[in-house]
Amino acid sequence: MYRLIDGKEVSNYIKGKVRDEIISLGEKGIKATLAVIIVGNDPASRVYVNNKKRACEATGIVSREYALPEETAEAELLSLIAELNNDKEVNGILCQLPLPSHIDEKKVIDAICPEKDVDVFSEVNVGKMWVGDYDVASCTPKGVIELLEYYDIPLEGKNCVIIGRSNIVGKPMASLLLEKNATVTVCHSRTTDLSFFTRNADIIVAAVGRKRFVTADMVKEGAVVVDVGINRDENGKLCGDVDFENVKEKCSYITPVPGGCGPMTIAVLMKNTLAVTKKQNNV
């Protein structure tokens, strides 16, 4: 019998802990401020930004939104980031992706001061994760770790298979699992006989961006399956990278979509904003 991993419950727990610390900082005269930049009118980006604003409100973090038009020049965006880097009242900065095609995303990410990079996308902070010397970790992968630890799912010595090698999920996920002493295999579109690896996995993290890609025959009995994917099915309904209905009966634990990893990304963003605020104020 499988057990459902409830991302909403865990994210509310984390945000509650963040709120308590934000209140304590406030008593010392310290406030945490997150600057969120959005360029253009992408509907999905607008939903994400609104969700982040609500999370800030729930935790007591001050949210500053900078909504720029689609035609904003790259130089103008970089100038804004430089201004926010130098603003001592701003603790964390994120620029909602994707950006319009005329703007170089890498240049924008690298322009954000590493000490204020709460998304943990910069090369400096990604490098710190890989050597295990970091204050903040990539939001979605760290959210996965928080989920597994909340449910007391052991990681040490476990055979963990990540499907997907993106810079946002797959690669940082590997570094965090290695830090927990798991044995990690990263699979991707060029992997030969993917099922060979997944059928031997104690824990599968699916982050490939293809709806219902992981099927029941790819999963061993009793495995833990974490679905990071967000897709739309043929009816326009949200679904993940895992064929949930058929896979769940083989699992010991499984995350749903929606309601699994999604809420955790924003919860960890709040946790990261708190962490950089404390670091900047020597708390």
Q: What confidence score (pLDDT) does residue 269 get?
A: 98
CATH number of 29-113: 3.40.50.10860
Among 15, 96, 117, 271, which one carries the catalytic annotation? Answer: 96
The mean pLDDT value of the chain amounts to 97
283-to-32, 64, 276, 280 alpha-carbon distances in Å: 12, 23, 10, 8
Catalytic, 52? Answer yes
Catalytic, 280? Answer no
Among 52, 142, 171, 271, which one carries the catalytic annotation? Answer: 52
198-to-192, 207, 218, 249 alpha-carbon distances in Å: 12, 13, 6, 16
Among 15, 116, 119, 248, which one carries the catalytic annotation? Answer: 119
Give this prediction's pTM.
0.95
Q: Identify the segments of the chain with pLDDT beneath 70.
A: none
Measured CA to CA, the distance from residue 251 to residue 214 in angstroms comes to: 13
For the chain, the domains span 29-113, 139-262
Q: What confidence score (pLDDT) does residue 20 get?
A: 98
Measured CA to CA, the distance from residue 117 to residue 253 in angstroms comes to: 32
Identical fold between 29-113 and 139-262: yes
Q: Which pLDDT tens digit goes with each residue over 179-219?
A: 999 999 999 999 999 999 999 999 999 999 999 999 999 99
- Expressed in angstroms, the distance from the first to the final Cα of the chain is 45
Closest CA to 144 of 166, 178, 176: 176
User: Cβ-count burial of 250 within 10 angstroms (0-12 exposed, 13-18 middle, 19+ buried)?
Assistant: middle
CATH number of 139-262: 3.40.50.720
